[in-house]
Chains A and B, each alone.
Chain A
Amino acid sequence: MKNSKSKLIALLTIVTVISLQACKPKNVGSAVNADAASKTYVAPGKYDEFYNFVSGGFSGQMSVYGLPSGRLLKVVPIFSVDPEKGYGYSEETKPMLNTSNGFVPWDDQHHLDLSQTNGEIDGRWIFANANNTPRVARVSLNTFRTAEIIELPNSAGNHSSPFITENTEYVIAGTRFSVPPDNANGDVPINSYRKNFKGSISFISVDKESGKMDIAFQLRCPAVDFDLSHSGKGKSHGWFFFSCYNTEQANTLLEVNASQRDKDFIMAVNWKKAEEYLKAGKGKKEAVRYAHNVYDEKTHTATSEIKTEVTVLDVSDLKDICYFIPCPKSPHGCDVDPTGEYIVGSGKLAALIPVFSFDKIQKAIAAKDFIGDYEGIPVIKYESALYGEVKKPGLGPLHTEFDGRGNAITTMFVSSEIVRWNIKDLKIIDRQPTFYSPGHLCIPGGDSKKPNGKYVIVYNKITKDRYLPTGPELSQSAQLFDITGDKMQLILDFPTIGEPHYAQAVSADLIKNNSVKFFKIDENNNAFVSKGEGATKVVRTGNRIDVYMTAIRSHLTPDNIEGVKIGDEVYFHVTNLEQDWDVPHGFAIKGALTGELLIMPGETQTLKWTPLKPGMYPFYCTDFCSALHQEMQGYIRISTADSKVPLLFSTGKNMPVADTSFSK
């Protein structure tokens, strides 16, 4: 009996093998046993091939991984304070998190987009959105630090953001939550949504040289939820595409009430036309308040400016800027293929993936092939814009990236898989389980004109059982698939920071050689710099004490400070005098109600400290910098408010005095 069973299994195995051979995979190597470990192994001391920039979701930060190893290289603070790096704690960085609401220490960071030139990644900057208090940040890829943050007026839930145009002319930010405009009275009944609420889309211009951002104009749109977006490219350069849900305009229980219509919309925006209207003076200036924060690499200091005006183009009046295209069932991802011809809308409740044709959209607009209008905006006939539908792709299609070989890969949230399909014939080529509900996915350059179809990284929302248990919350996983063969092959899982949403990846060659190693001390224009130990001092101005301090292996100057009293506010301005790569010094003082400073070579950073009771307070270097790092310490003596102790400071001079009472 046992023997016959074995024979049966053997027979079935043969049938399986034969049937597989009948399928004739083009690349046999991908269908046979492969050593996944060797594909992800990057030897100690060797660089990874790609940088992977991963949004941090509710951590507010961006993490940087190497691929294919999945090694975490850095966490870059953007929208949340980071006591580890002093970000949002040092006087120099506090202005970065200023908003029209005041200092906001946290946000929800969803999407990233690398700057592009001619539709290809140029390796200069990466843009990040803040979803909660709407902002867009620009991160320098020379320093891997946040260079600029701009707040967005008239917006809420800055979700379809920050996606760039083909030459980074603009960063585009669409509002997920429509709200009454800032200059209107927002104190209205919530169920007056249809009457009082509006959607806003911000076009943030980016200076070609400096990268400096400015809100060029906003489009005033009907109140719906703008979910995601992507730029046209190539033939569709000049256009932008947004997915819209809640076209029911529900203001409560959206779970049910925003799923009523069979079709919501993709909104096609002719932004070149918007520019024409802007030039022709059709924009209306509105009074608003928003913060614009810039970090200066020479002063090592951020400044925050509150701006008070924005130019608005109303798309119901200026009819030929926006067009709606019906798209089934609450579309989420809105992705444009490398040629710019195909626009993929992923209706997360739909049983198919519609692919729209840019050429057909243009023809339909020219022929006014509309089925009516929605809130004053023409609605193109679905069939007239449609290239075709991917039938039965899986359950819960969310996001699509492109492999550069004529295929698209889409994540299926509900059926927990990724599905690769051909853009031309819309046939499914391969599907692979991701085991846990995938959200976004990323192919290096996957939203550019030139994808590098070596890998797809899939970011999963749920990771039950994927790693050793760590209590109720588990780190969300990224999954690396080799997509060079006919079959996508899972080769690595790695944990992420916060919640990864959209991510970007790029060949390391484009970035690694531009990395700054230190800041030149000669070019340090910080108002409180000490360019050498001779320049250190402690200055009293009323009850403000400015400590001009330096750090160099392995001492702080000054390291003995006396004559500071209760009621004083002490500012430690610490300049790192090192001119050597990877030698930051840290600075911390006992009892400080704040973070540390982490000062890069050549940089000055300031920690404000208000002593609360008299006593002796040690301070020290927190970043192990040398064999005598432990010696890099000092004291500040705090005296009572009425003390007559004179202000003294020194390093290496404050020696013990002959003390007669001691010798007794």
Chain B
Amino acid sequence: MPKFARELLFPLIAVVAAFIVGGILILIIGDNPIEAYRLLLGSALSWPDGIGYTLFHATPLIFTGLAVLVGFRCGLFNIGAEGQLYIAAFATAWVGITFANRSAWLLVPLCFLAAILVGGLWGAIPGILKARFGSHEVINTIMLNFIALYLISYLTQYHYRVPGDPILQTSPIGEGAHIPRFGAFIPGFPERIPLNVAFLLALLCCLLVYLFLWRTKWGYEIRATGSNPTAAEYGGISVRKQIVLAMAVSGALAGMVGINEVLGYRYRYYDGFSDNYGFTGIAVALLGRNHPVGVILAALLFAVLQHGGIYVDGFSEHVTKDIVQVLQGIIILFVAAESFFKWSLGRFGFRRLRA
């Protein structure tokens, strides 16, 4: 079997198994699983709405999946993508509001930069804490999620909200900061569908992350650190630098969710916009085998489920969109099972089996 087929096999089994278990559940609930799945997949793959919304939902998941992937490859577990994307989205909106009258040529790059830099900086903080003091990145990224979330809620509420607006959101960004939706250049594709060029940026990022990790010396050093830090150190690689670098890159990727959300969709910062993108990114990276191509496939699958779930909710008698959560949960469970078994056996002293 070629290598890519072997890599695909396990995630594929996990997905199929999840659908089978989910089907049994639907049967127990008293509905026809085939009908429910037809609704779920059919609605997500219809043209133009289904496909448009599926790709739109996939965009943030690709970014966060890549973010988690870069961390994993350096041996780091970035649970902070959620906070990183929030604070970056707010920074993007802030630039879009503050420099609203500038021309698009200046404003769009500036907003991009804000998303990438602020996300990267927020990601670098737990990296620095780990490199400098050895404190665990899982704890620190979780804590920084709360800090980011409440900090920007506060800023939105008390400083950037339009007076009288009942919704917790900022004032709109300048028109020059808008990035084109697909409707603008694909004939017949309605502009109300928020799918925008950030999706293409996400695909470009997959390519860039691949080149970065597997074709540059920096990527080599990050992966070496993730694979065996003591050997990396022996090879003259500064493990501390790699930890900070990987967390910064990871945060920057998560931050780019802000581009999709603020510049391509709502044109303002909308508080609590993230549908757990940062956390779903962990599942996307796991299911995608920590490879950029896998991340695209996994993000598309999760987006299909997310979008199709809405239709299942509307048209099925007993099954609600919660079935999507159930399916996602089972997929993650099956995917995690492989690593979990290896890990738990290793933990109890059966070192030989760990390999």
Q: Do A and B bind each other?
A: no
Please give the residue numbers on chain A whose beta carbons come within 8 Å of chain B beta carbons, in ascending order: none
Which residues of B pack against A, CB within 8 Å?
none
